[in-house]
Each structure stands twice: as C-alpha cells, then as structure tokens.
A and B are shown apart, each in its own frame.
Chain A
C-alpha cells in the first residue's frame, strides 16, 4: 500500500492525541513534560508531510525553527522543574495545588 498524505497526517494526529493524553493523565511532572514534547513533534511531523507532498520547502524550514525553539524551551522548562523539585521535594503533580482557590 502506498503511503499517502493522509497516512502521515493520521500518524501526526495520533501522536498528538497520545501526547495530550499523557499531559492530562500522567502524574509525574517529567513525564508530562515529555508528553508535551511529543505533541510538539506531532505538529512538526504534520508540517513536514505537507511540505513534502506540496514540494514546498517552507514547511521544513519552519520545522527547523520549531526544533530550535523547542530545545530552548526544554532547557528553561527543565530548569523550572528542577527548581520546583528543590522547593517542593516532589515530582508528583497532584501535590502541586497552591493554585487552588
């Protein structure tokens, strides 16, 4: 079977859904963060597939930008998570409830 655009997009959607599911359900802060990255990469995949099937390099260029920004973001995010761990001594997201009214 030849892999058409729709197959790539389906995979992208599936990855996104799995990432979202992880963000909503997992309880370890780091795993939530990894799921967040997974969502980001799902979006990258979609961009690349579109770019490939339209023979337009713009999508792939954008993906480069996204990957670098994502890397920076991960650095900052992990720094935050480490700071949070040092303060709260927990990586369990259900223990982080100070936003509760």
Chain B
C-alpha cells in the first residue's frame, strides 16, 4: 500500500456519505424549479461518490480487519453511548461500491426515463436522499445508527413509491409499504433493546467481541433476540408474512423499482443479517432459513401467472430475496451476499430494460399487449436476455455462481428439503422469465403500441449495457472472494484467477452445479413448449383453480384485509368512541356542565332584592353569635 496520510484518507467515506444528502438539500432548497440542475446535482453526487469509493477501496485495500471512525453523538450516564461512526470491512466496502455504482447507473437512466415528468427535480431530490440513507445503512457501526438510517430508507421509499401522489393506487401503495415496514421495525427495535439490555453495548465490533469471548452471554434470550432482530429483515426484505408491500410498490416509477425494490433497499435486510450474524444462534438461524425458503417458493409460484411485466419482476425479486435469507439461515453469509451483489446487477438491469420496454409501448405494462419487440428494440432485447440468463443461472453468467453457492450451502448442511425447494424455485424462475421473454420479445405483435415501438435513447440504453456486462461477468471477478475474506468459507481469495473461478463450482460442489443447470434446462423447455408463439396464456386452462389462486397472489392481501385491517379498524372505532363519549363527553363536558350548574344555583342567591340580602346578613350574624356564645 502507499504511505498515504491516513487522516486524509479517512475523510473520504464521510464525503461519500454526505454528498448525496448535500445534493438533496440543495435541490430542495434552491433548484426545485430547475430540472437540469437538479439532475446534474443528483447524478454528480452519486457518480462522484462512486469514483471516490473506488479510490478509497483501491488505496485502503480489502483488509479483513475492521477500521472505524467515530464521533460521539449521545451519552446518557454509564449505560447508553451512541456514536455516529463508519465501519469498514470487506462487507461494507464492497457494498459501498455496489450501492454507489448501481445507484449511479440508475440515476443516469432516470435522466432519460423521467424527462417529461413535472416532478423531475423532486424525483432527484428523493433519489439522493435515498442514496444517502442507503449508504448510511451500509456504513453504520452501531445498532442505533443503523436503525435511524433504516427508517430513513423507509421514508425515501415512501416518497418515491408515492411519487405520483395524485394517483390513489400509488398513495395507497406507499402507505402500505411504510406501515408494513414499521411492523417489522417494531420487532427490530425490540430486538435491539434486548441485545443492548443483555450485553450493554450497541456497537457492532464491541458486540462481536463480547459474544466471541462469551458465547452464552445472551443467555435464555438468545433465540428471542435473534428472531426479533430478524423481524426487521422480514419487513425490509419483504419475507413472508410481510411480503405484501413489494408488488404494490411497483406503482412507483421504474427507476425507483430498480434501485430500491430490487438492488439496494430490499437487500438491506440481508445485509443487516450478515452484519449482525453473531447475534443469531442456531434455532434462530433455522427459523430464518425456512422462512426464506418458503418466501422463495411462494413468490415464484405467484410469478408464473402474473401478466404485468413489473409485477413478474417484483415477485422474482421476492423469490431471490428468499434465496438470500435462506442462505443466511443455512449458515452461509458468503453465498447470501454474493447472490445479493449479482442480483443487484441483473435485477436492476431487468427493471431498467423493462422500463425501456414500457416507455416504448407507451406506458403499457401488460405483457399480453406487447410482442415481437426483439426486432424493434435490439439493445433492450439483448440486455434483457443477458439479465434473464444471469437470473436463471446459466453458466458462465453471474447468477449461476451465486445460486450454485447457495444450493451447495444447503447440501453441505445436509438440508435436503431446502435444497429441493431451492432447485424447484430455480426451475420456476427460469420458467417465468422465459415466459416473459417469449411473450414480450418473440411471437407476433399483440397491440398497436407494440407496432410502433422503437429503441430508447442512449441515455437510457448505456446504463443497460453497463449493467449487462456486470450481470454477465459478475460471477468471476472476485466478488465471492472478497466476501469470503470477511466470513470465511469457500470461494478462492481475490488472488485466484478467472479460470479458477469459472470451474470452481464444478470441482467443489458438482451435484449442486449439475442440478442447477438441469433446472435451467427444465424451466426453459417448459416455457418454450407453452409460450413460444402463444397469443394468450395456456396455463389457466391447464391448472384451473391453482392458476386463479396464483393470479390473485394466493389471497394474502384479502386475508390481511379481513383480519388485520378489520381488527385495526375495530380498535380504531373503539378508541374513537372512548374519545368522543368518555374523554370529551364525560370528562371535559362533564366538568363544563357541573360548573355551569353550580353557577346557576348560586345565581339564585343574587336576587337584586335588598331585603333578601339583609335577611342573609341577619342570618349570618345569628350564626356567628351561636358559635361564639352557644358552644
């Protein structure tokens, strides 16, 4: 390494973190009427952040040792000390690069996508706020800071999902996302408090040391604390049962779906789990793995019968998040984070390409109204294909390596059930993605809009190309190695060559690799048989009731509406009754009425008649005499 003055280098991460916030602030205060400058500020901040991150990582290196920079923020007596600090280890450094990089690409794409929107400056201000919050989560060094930025990310998500706030569907979706997240965050906060109460510290490094030296420090609360903290991930990463907000979040603009609900924010839950892995004990991890596996399966089943291009991708995201959570639960943070990274690349790519398709088809999102777009939008088609091949896990593209490492992890834990689930989900993934491709890009044009579609402008197409490159080669450029530095486990160190990494899976876990590829072939074959050249969906006839259930998302929203929402409305009605009749009625108006009654009674004494007053004087005198003389 260079003999770089460390003090100066330490300032870089603070700059990277606060640049987007500065951009958001300046846009909000000064350039809300000026679209051009808003875009420039926002894009500039995040691209500068990316470049600075590259410099920082290049100079400081991937050392697995943790380095922290802190400033004391809040101290209450002996017990509570909250710092504001940045935590650097391979995990956060790599996430820093991924977040700034993917966000940068999406910012550039948004310049083109949101061009005619009247709320353009507001959009970029919200995007910058989001970038700031996400970087805050990635770099946080203690629980409270993580939680603050966690909530900030939720707020940004609310602002961006409900960006077109005049549309009732968007406003409702934003509320739903925020409230569902709050439910998860409630459990998260309880978990944080439990950990703090049991161990006395909130700082990640401190906690890790404490638990390393005394594994039983959490005592009987270990599983409970772990599961409560996991609640935060359930909310943020949309696991079952809090998965209902993510598909609705597609009401937001497509760049938002790409950035927040595919690449970064929803991944924050998985990132958090990897960050606090030391708090999770074996029973908690087991629950986590099964919830992840179930979510993956549920979402994949729903995805195969959705007709809205963004909803298919949303359920795909849910499914992949399930994979990641399952991997964490199976004791494999390296596979989970590896998949998170490759997923960020190809899912962002898929969403952006879908956005390109949607714009070309004049904001039509139903796949059965598109068709034969392959020839009209070649770049979009090829980049979308690259993303799909990566997602479906074809060797040598990135998704193959990450998915394979998860399946291998399941096998190494001898968990045949979850391995089978993972494999089945892989089949379904390939199936629904190729269903999408055959219907949208092949076949015949199914509507007038599709007839007139044309390729998107360069500002939207270049981000697709960049992401496609990463989606294709992301598996072999050493990402897995960096994570392995942090967490141990398989994946050769960053020094291993590309060829080593290409054949790695075949050597180390051949069963998983072969099964993964077989799943791809099976899914592709089924999709081809059913959807190549199809003008309408053949599955509803074949599957009947099951298809209807899938189309209706297995009625979870209706279930929640009937139970949770009804219960909530009932409680609200009771509270309203108490407020209106008891607090306002009995207490407030009661006091008012009593006072008035007393007043009226006393007023009767004021007759205005002098003789009455004289009588009262005499009576008073008599009373006094009685007491003075009589007793």
Contact = CB atoms under 8 A, between A and B. Distances in A.
Interface residues of B, dominant DSSP: helix
A67 to B, nearest CB: 23
Contacts of B606: 99-101
Interface string A1-45: 000000000000000000010011100000010000000000000
A93 B618 contact: no
A69 interface: no
B611 A25 contact: yes
Interface residues of A, number: 13
A23 B611 contact: yes
Nearest to A97: B608
B614 A23 contact: yes
A98 interface: yes
Contact of A24 (B603, B607, B608, B614): B614
Interface string B595-631: 0000000010011111100110010000000000000
A23 B614 CA distance: 8
A49 B606 CA distance: 40
Contacts of A97: 607-609
Contacts of B614: 23-24
Nearest to B608: A100
Contact of A100 (B607, B615, B618): B607
Contacts of A98: 608
A20 B611 CA distance: 10
A32 B608 contact: no
A71 B284 CA distance: 104
B599 to A, nearest CB: 10
Contacts of B609: 93-94, 96-97, 100
A32 B603 contact: no
B608 A99 contact: yes
Contacts of B611: 23-25, 32, 93
Nearest to B622: A20
Contacts of A20: 618
Contacts of B618: 20, 24
Interface string A60-101: 000000000000000000000000000000000110111111
A94 B614 CA distance: 13
11 contacts: A23-B614, A24-B615, A24-B618, A32-B610, A32-B611, A93-B611, A98-B608, A99-B606, A99-B608, A100-B607, A101-B606
